[in-house]
Amino acid sequence: MASNRIGRINEEIQRELAAQLRGLKDPRVSGVGMVSITRVNTTPDLRYAQVFVSVLDKEQEKEVLKGLKSAAGFLRRELGGALRLRYTPELQFVADDSIAHGAHILELLRSVERRDAEQNGQGEEE
């Protein structure tokens, strides 16, 4: 039952942080193309939350993480006001490359599919 509660809290934190990112004025975060909160892992005591962040432009990823780390106190205060938890977790931002990894796997699957289609097409001609 506790894990279900933590799961709901993780979803709420993710949703709220995503909304807050749009209004963040730090140029390291707002000046970049697309920044996404992919998932949140909160400790059971709600003291810490790992926030996984994906950045479309990988060259600016380190700067975005620095900007988010700098804004962590502000984001935490805003989060506390929005969620009204007893404890607002300390935010730890972590780079997440799962979207890029998924895109790479998708491209590999498509290349295999194209190769198979070419081989099947050549087999029919003979």
Domain ranges of the chain: 2-95, 97-126
Q: What is the pLDDT of residue 28?
A: 85
The structure's pTM equals: 0.76
- Domain 2-95 - what CATH class? alpha beta
Q: What is the pLDDT of residue 36?
A: 86
Residues 6 or more apart from 69 whose CB is under 8 A from it? 93
Q: What is the pLDDT along the chain (126 residues), one digit of tens a residue?
A: 467 889 999 999 999 999 998 888 888 888 777 888 999 999 999 899 999 998 877 788 899 899 999 999 999 998 888 888 888 899 999 998 877 788 889 999 999 999 988 888 765 554
Number of Cβ within a 10 Å radius of residue 71? 20
